[in-house]
Amino acid sequence: MREYQRYSQASHMANGRFWLIPLGVGGPILRAAAAFRASSLGLPLRRSRPVYIAAALGVAHALSTVKAAGINLAIAPWQPPERQITDEATLSDVLRRFERWQALRATLQFLTFTAGVWALAANEGGNVAHTLKAQ
C-alpha cells in the first residue's frame, strides 16, 4: 500500500499532472463533438449508433474518473501535513475504494475504445457528401 501511495504521489508531481487531466477531459470532449457532428450530418443509424455509444461511454468514463480522482486525492502529495494519511487502516480503506472505482473506470475506458473502433469501422471509407446524396 505504501509503495502505491508513493507511486501515486510521484506521478502527480511529475509529468502525469500535465498528461492525465488533458487526456481525461479531451477524450470525452472529442467523442461528444464527434457525436454532435454525426447528428448534424444526419448519418444513418448503422453509422451513427457506434459514435453515440462511444460518446456516452466516454462521458461515463470521465465521470468515473472524477470519482476515482476524488478518492485518490486523499493520498495526494499536496495534502497538508495534518490531512496526510499515516495509519495503515485508513490507507487501506482509501485504496480499496479507489480500486473499485479504478476497475469501473478501466472497464469503461476499454469499452469506450472498443466503441470508438466500431465507430471507425462503421464509417470507414464513408464519404459524407456521397452518403447524403444517396439518401
How far is 124 from 111, CA to CA, in rounded Å? 19
Residue 127 has what pLDDT? Answer: 61
Kindly list the averaged pLDDT for each block of 10 residues, start to end, along the chain of length 135: 67 68 85 93 93 96 90 75 79 90 95 96 73 51
Q: How many residues does the chain have?
A: 135
Domain boundaries, the chain: 2-134
List the grid coordinates of 7: 507511486
Q: Which residue has the cell 502525469?
A: 16
How far is 99 from 45, CA to CA, in rounded Å? 37
Residue 5 has what pLDDT? Answer: 67
Instruction: Tell me how far the alpha carbon of residue 88 is from its chain's centroid.
Output: 29
27 backbone dihedrals φ, ψ, rounded to 5°: -60, -55
Quick check: 61 and 108 in contact, CB under 8 A?
A: yes
How far is 5 from 22, CA to CA, in rounded Å? 23
Residue 12 has what pLDDT? Answer: 61
Residue 24 has what pLDDT? Answer: 79
Give the angle subtended at the CA of 76 by the CAs of 105 and 63, to the nearest 5°. Answer: 25
